[in-house]
Amino acid sequence: MSAALVGQWSRLFARSLVQAGLEDAVICPGSRSTPFAWALAAEKKLHCHSLLDERGAAFFALGLARASRKPALLLCTSGSAAANFFPAVVEASLARLPLLVVTADRPLELQAAGAAQTIDQVKLYGEHARAFLDLGVPDAAGSALTGLVRIVTQALSLTLGPEPGPVQLNARARKPLEPGAAETPADRALVDVVDRLLGRGVTRVARAEGVPAPDAVHRVGRALATASRAVIVAGPLPLPAPGAQSAAAAWQTLARRLEVPLFAEATSGFRFDGDGAPRADGLEWLLRSRACRAALAPDLVLRLGAVPTAGGLEPLLAEHPSAELHVVSEHGHPDALGRARTLTLGSPERVGAVLEKALGAQEPNAEQRAFGERVSKANELVWQAVARVAASSPVLSEPQAVRLALDAVPDGGLVVLGNSLPVRMVDAFVPSAPRRLLVASQRGANGIDGLVAGAAGSALAAGVPTLLLLGDVSLAHDIGGLAAARLVGSPFAVVVIDNDGGRIFETLPVARLWDGAPERSELWLTPPKLAFEHAAALFGLPYAAPKTARELAAALSEALARDGATLVQVRVPAHSARDAIAAVIAEIDRSVPAVLAGPRS
C-alpha cells in the first residue's frame, strides 16, 4: 500500500464528512488512527479537539453534541482504546445524542493472531449503537472510493435519525500509516479521482420534521379538558437547538388557560425560561411527603419528556391507581410502570403547540379551577417552609450553597446539573425565577460518569458562562475531566459540593442498614477525602474554597466573569442535606396536606 493511497483515502474520508456537515472532531492519540487524525486536522472548517484520555474525550464529545444538537466525531486508535468509549456510547444511546464513533482498526489479516493492540471491534458497542459500518482498508478502486464517501456520510446521517444516537464507523488501515505525496502516475491519477469526487459533493439527506398524530393529540386534549384534578409534570428534556424556542411557552400557556398545575423539574428547562408567570414547582416536596401524595390525589397526570428525577411520582401513581397517566415523548417508550393510557410520540414543542391550538378557548371546569388554586397555595407554603429551614443553618449548608450557585449564573447562562444528590437539591431548594437559563443534565443512564468532561463539551459548544454543579464523589470519579475543562475559553465554574461522600444514600432505605453497622456505610458513601486544590494545580486551573455564604457568592461571581475554567470547592456539613430535607418535610406535613385536599366531590 502506498503512502499516497493512505493520504488520499483519509483526505476523502475527512473532507466528505465536513461536506456532510460535521463541525467538531475529538481526537485521541494513537498510531493506527494516524491517517484519519492527520486528515481531520487539515480541514480548516473543522474544529478539532485533542484529549489523551478516551473516556473523558468521549464525554466531552457528548457534551458538544448535547449543547449544539449536532453530531460530534470521536476518533481513537485500535484495541482497548475503543472500549474506553463505552460509557459515553451508552449515555449517547439512552439520551439520544448524535455521536459518530470512529474506531481505527487493524486489517483482517492481523485479527486473532496475537498482533499488538488488536481486538475484535466489529459491533463493539452492540445494540447501544444505532448502526455499525466498516470502511475496510484503503482501496484505490473507483467503486471503493465512491463507497467510502457514501459510507461515511451515511454514518453521520444515521447519528441524527430516524432515532438519534451513536454510530460506530470502523476504519481499518495497513502500514504505512503516514500519508505521503503522489509520486507516481498512478498516485497522481488517484488524486484526480478524489478531487472529482470531492468536487461533486456528498449526498444531502433531507429529514422530514416529525408531526405528532392529530388523533393522539386530540385524545390527550380531551382527557386534559375533562379532568378535575389534572397535573402536568415536565421531566428531563433536551436542550433546545441554538436559536430555537424552548417547549416551555406553549405548555405554560396551556397550563394557565386550563388552570392545570405545571410541575417543572429543573432538568426540563421550564423552571428558568424567562417567563415570570407563577407555576407549581414544589413537586419534589409534595412527592416526598406521604401525606401530600395522599391529599394530591390526581385523576390525570400528563408527563412530558423522560422519566422525572423525583422518585415520588411512582408511589403517587401506585397510591392512586385510578389516575390516568398520559406521556408525551419525542422518542422511546418511557413508561417503566406500564401505566400510560396514551403515549404521544413527538417533540414537546410541537405537541404543545398542536394541543394549545386544538383546545382553543377551552375553559377549565370548576373542579379543576379549585384544585389548581389549592395546589398554588400549597406551593407557596412549600417554598416558605424551604426558606425558613435553609435560613436556619448557622453555617454554610448544602441547601444554601446550591441556591447561591444557581443564583450566581447570569441571564442566558448554562447550568449543568450533576447526578445523584445535586440535581435533586436544585429541585428541592431553588424555585422558579423570572430569568432565562439553559439547563443540561446527563439523565440518559443517570450515572456520574464523565460529568466534568461532558459539561466542558457543552460549555465550549454553548459559548456562554456555564456552571457545573456536582458532588465530591462525582468529581473524584471524573478528575481527569479537568483536562477537558482546560479547553473551554468562556467562563466555566466547576462547583463541587463537598459533603464527604455520596450523601444521597442517606436519603434512601439502605441507610437503615447502617444503624447496626455504621462502619459499613463507607461501602455506599465512599468519601473521597481528596485535596481538590491539588487537582486544580495539576491542571493549572484557578481554585477557590469559600467558607461562608458571602465568600461563596464572591467566588462564583469572579469565576463566572473570568474566561476559562475555575474549580470551586464548597465544603458543607456532611448531613446538612439530610437534616434540611427532614426539617422541611416535617413543616410541610403540618400545614400543606389540608390545603391540598380541600372539599371532595
pLDDT tens digits, one per residue of 339-373: 899 999 988 888 988 888 888 778 888 999 999 99
pLDDT of residue 253: 85
Beta strand 543-544 with 72-76 is unpaired
Show the 3-state SS of 157-196: HHCCCCCCCEEEEEEECCCCCCCCCCCCHHHHHHHHHHHH
CATH of 3-200 given 3.90.1310.10, 3.40.250.10, 3.40.50.1000, 3.40.50.970:
3.40.50.970
Report the chain's terminal Cα–Cα distance, integer Å: 82
Name the 3-class secondary structure at 302: strand
Q: Is the pLDDT of residue 122 over 50?
A: yes
Q: Is the pLDDT of residue 37 over 70?
A: yes
Q: Is the pLDDT of residue 149 over 50?
A: yes
pLDDT per position as a tens digit, 508-518 = 888 888 887 88
Name the 3-class secondary structure at 281: coil
pLDDT of residue 65: 97
| Spatial separation of the C-alpha atoms in residues 492 and 189, rounded to whole Å | 50
pLDDT of residue 66: 96
Q: Is the pLDDT of residue 104 over 80?
A: yes
Show the 3-state SS of 55-122: HHHHHHHHHHHHHHCCCEEEEECCCHHHHCCHHHHHHHHHHCCCEEEEEEECCHHHCCCCCCCCCCCC
| Spatial separation of the C-alpha atoms in residues 597 and 471, rounded to whole Å | 37
pLDDT of residue 359: 83
Best-predicted range by mean pLDDT among 111-120, 480-489, 520-529? Answer: 480-489
| Spatial separation of the C-alpha atoms in residues 440 and 377, rounded to whole Å | 30
Q: Is the pLDDT of residue 278 over 60?
A: no
| Spatial separation of the C-alpha atoms in residues 554 and 534, rounded to whole Å | 22
pLDDT per position as a tens digit, 224-270 = 889 999 999 999 999 988 776 677 888 888 888 889 999 989 999 88
Domain 398-572 has CATH 3.40.50.970: yes
Q: Is the pLDDT of residue 600 over 60?
A: no
Sheet holding 492-498, edge to edge: 438-441, 414-417, 466-471, 492-498, 565-571, 543-544
**Domain extents in the chain:** 3-200, 214-389, 398-572
Average pLDDT over residues 565-576: 96
pLDDT of residue 599: 62
Per the CB < 8 A criterion, the answer to whether 235 and 309 are in contact is yes
pLDDT of residue 356: 83
Tell me the backbone φ, ψ of residue 481, rounded to 5 degrees.
Answer: -65, -15
Average pLDDT over residues 100-111: 90
CB atoms within 10 A of CB 508: 10
Closest CA to 552 of 400, 448, 439: 400
- pLDDT classification of 129: cutoffs 50, 70, 90: very high
| Spatial separation of the C-alpha atoms in residues 244 and 588, rounded to whole Å | 38
Per the CB < 8 A criterion, the answer to whether 249 and 545 are in contact is no
Closest CA to 327 of 308, 353, 354: 308
| Spatial separation of the C-alpha atoms in residues 589 and 593, rounded to whole Å | 6
Q: Is the pLDDT of residue 277 over 70?
A: no
Closest CA to 320 of 288, 297, 292: 297
pLDDT per position as a tens digit, 188-209 = 999 999 999 999 999 888 877 7
| Spatial separation of the C-alpha atoms in residues 531 and 537, rounded to whole Å | 11
CATH of 214-389 given 3.40.50.1220, 1.10.3720.10, 3.90.25.10, 3.40.50.11810:
3.40.50.1220
pLDDT per position as a tens digit, 381-396 = 999 999 999 999 999 9
| DSSP H or E run through 380 | helix 366-391
- pLDDT classification of 279: cutoffs 50, 70, 90: low
pLDDT per position as a tens digit, 439-463 = 999 999 888 999 999 999 999 999 9
Among residues of the chain, what percentage have pLDDT more than 90?
69
**For the chain, what is the mean pLDDT?**
92
Instruction: State CA 473 to chain mean position distance.
Output: 19
Q: Which amino acid is at 428?
A: A
Per the CB < 8 A criterion, the answer to whether 70 and 465 are in contact is no
What is the torsional sign of CA 103, 477, 447, 470? negative
| Spatial separation of the C-alpha atoms in residues 61 and 67, rounded to whole Å | 10
Least confident of 96-105, 159-168, 204-213, 532-541: 204-213
Comparison of pLDDT for 278 and 84, the residue scoring more: 84
Average pLDDT over residues 144-154: 95
Per the CB < 8 A criterion, the answer to whether 56 and 87 are in contact is no
pTM (predicted TM-score): 0.94
| Spatial separation of the C-alpha atoms in residues 528 and 171, rounded to whole Å | 40
- pLDDT classification of 601: cutoffs 50, 70, 90: very low
Please indicate whether the domains covering 3-200 and 214-389 agree at the CATH topology level: yes
